[in-house]
């Protein structure tokens, strides 16, 4: 059994964060472990509170895992502060395993899940260690300080992320104004670039989509899939999870991890 780890925030509502990651791991037949960086109080209507965990206790969780388990891949989600990011980068630096960084910044309701000053720390300490980074369009713009309007902009932004040392950049195009398709753009260092197009699914139930996609990618990479194959399988998984969305709660419901 392959063991993978998510380092992320808890969503007590179960649709995003650690909870979405662990459900996805289970569904994709890897053994999920977790390091919780922050607690959030939230439901499908929004985030009503954030409580970061002490850096020393984040380290303690990670040390407990590394001491006992041969971790096959790690993903990071909500990291919240520069101090947390720097501590995690120091801990991960010594492990030579796939690292998937989902640069979570803002919840759908607009609540901040990453402090402004943490963005520099993300770019300077964690992204150079990343095997894959999975920003959506606004996150890619924030990470690089550029505006994305055309495909050329997407290519430029991906290049600047690759220059930070990331091995593979996946820019998720769900925020682009394309009424028919959701297109994701993949750029692999010294490898192919390609896009993945799927029919746009009209639904308000997309809570935790980014978490679920990056968790699926972590599961497939942890199982030893080659990069391109892992990306394509993760895209299929998230497409089904959105297609068979769950109308749970009164707001933006979660995607369906059992799809």
Give the number of residues written for the chain. Answer: 259
Q: Give the closest residue to 196 by CA, choosing from 160, 224, 170, 222.
A: 170
210 is catalytic: yes
Output 35 or 104, the one with its CB closest to ligand PLP. Answer: 104
Catalytic residue among 23, 75, 86, 172: 172
Catalytic residue among 209, 212, 218, 255: 209
CB of 20 to ligand PLP, least distance (A): 8
Output 27 or 139, the one with its CB closest to ligand PLP. Answer: 139
Which residue's Cβ lies closest to ligand PLP?
17
Cα–Cα distance between 171 and 83 in angstroms, integer? Answer: 26
CB of 47 to ligand PLP, least distance (A): 6
**Can residue 222 be called a binding residue for ligand PLP (CB under 6 A)?**
no
**Can residue 241 be called a binding residue for ligand PLP (CB under 6 A)?**
no
Residue 131 structure tokens: 């095997």
Please work out, in degrees rounded to the nearest 5, the angle formed at the alpha carbon of residue 228 by the alpha carbons of 224 and 233: 75
User: Who's near 146: CB < 8 A, 6+ residues apart?
Assistant: 153, 156, 157, 160
Output 98 or 253, the one with its CB closest to ligand PLP. Answer: 253
Place of tokens 């796939």: 98
Which residues, numbered 35-74, are part of the site for ligand PLP (CB under 6 A)?
Answer: 40
209 is catalytic: yes
**Count residues contacting ligand PLP (CB under 6 A)?**
18
**Can residue 254 be called a binding residue for ligand PLP (CB under 6 A)?**
no
Residue 123 structure tokens: 């770019």
The beta-strand segments (E) located in the chain are 3-11, 31-43, 46-52, 71-76, 99-101, 132-133, 168-172, 181-188, 193-199
Catalytic residue among 13, 210, 222, 253: 210
**Can residue 118 be called a binding residue for ligand PLP (CB under 6 A)?**
no
For 131, what's the count of Cα atoms within 13 Å in the CB-facing half-sphere?
A: 22
For the chain, what percentages of helix, strand and coil (3-state, to nearest 5) are there? 40, 25, 35
The binder of ligand PLP chosen from 14, 32, 103, 210 (CB under 6 A): 210
CB of 77 to ligand PLP, least distance (A): 4
CB of 80 to ligand PLP, least distance (A): 9
Residue 171 structure tokens: 């820019």
The binder of ligand PLP chosen from 7, 16, 169, 227 (CB under 6 A): 16
Could you list the active site residues? 172, 206, 208-211
Contacts to ligand PLP by CB under 6 A:
8-9, 11, 16-17, 40, 77-78, 104, 107-108, 113, 207-211, 252
């Amino acid at each position: 059994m392959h063991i993978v780890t998510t380092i992320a925030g808890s969503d007590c509502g179960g649709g995003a964060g650690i909870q979405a990651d662990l459900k996805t791991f289970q569904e994709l037949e890897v053994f999920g472990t977790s390091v919780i960086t922050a607690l959030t109080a939230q439901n499908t209507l929004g985030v009503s509170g954030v409580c970061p965990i002490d850096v020393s206790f984040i380290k303690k969780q990670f040390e407990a895992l590394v001491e006992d388990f041969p971790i096959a891949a790690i993903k990071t989600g909500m990291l919240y502060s520069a101090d947390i990011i720097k501590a995690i980068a120091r801990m991960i630096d010594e492990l030579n395993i796939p690292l998937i960084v989902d640069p979570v910044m803002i919840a759908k309701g607009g609540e901040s899940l990453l402090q402004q000053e943490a963005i520099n720390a993300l770019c300077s300490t964690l992204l150079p260690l990343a095997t894959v980074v999975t920003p959506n369009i606004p996150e890619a713009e924030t990470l690089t300080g550029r505006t994305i309007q055309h495909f050329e902009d997407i290519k430029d932004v991906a290049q600047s992320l690759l220059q930070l040392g990331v091995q593979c950049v996946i820019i998720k195009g769900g925020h682009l104004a394309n009424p028919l398709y959701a297109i994701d753009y993949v750029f692999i260092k010294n490898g192919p670039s390609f896009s993945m197009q799927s029919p746009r699914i009209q639904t308000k139930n997309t809570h935790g989509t980014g978490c679920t996609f990056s968790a699926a990618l972590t599961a497939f990479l942890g199982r030893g899939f080659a990069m391109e194959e892992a990306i394509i399988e993760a895209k299929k998984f998230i497409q089904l999870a959105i297609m068979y969305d769950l109308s749970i709660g009164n707001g933006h419901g979660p995607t369906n991890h059992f799809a």
